[in-house]
Amino acid sequence: MLNERGNLMASKFELQAYGMSEESISKLFLENKLTEVEMVIAGLLSDCQELLPQDEDGKMTNTDDMIRKNLNIAKFILFKKLREAREVA
């Protein structure tokens, strides 16, 4: 959906879930011919890790460390499946 300026409008859900419209996500990330979508996903996961809070000593809480580890697991699975798919192809 476009607003009066011709810019993409996001629904309330899209703004709460993504901060932008799903159409914007598609244009920014999925239609980008310079980067494979898997690398975009890995980059977003890494960006999430950088946003985790740290105390003045650079340490995370136990919950934040679990989040960091789960993000790493997601990236590990993503890249493992990519390697397997390329070996089959």
Beta strand segments in the chain, E = none
**pLDDT value at residue 6:** 57
pTM of the model: 0.64
* Per-run averaged pLDDT (10 residues), the chain, 89 residues: 63 90 86 79 88 79 87 89 85
- Residue 75 CA to residue 42 CA, distance in Å, equals 6
What per-residue confidence (pLDDT) applies to 37?
A: 81
CB-facing half-sphere around the CA of 7: CA atoms within 13 A:
5
Q: What is the pLDDT of residue 1?
A: 57
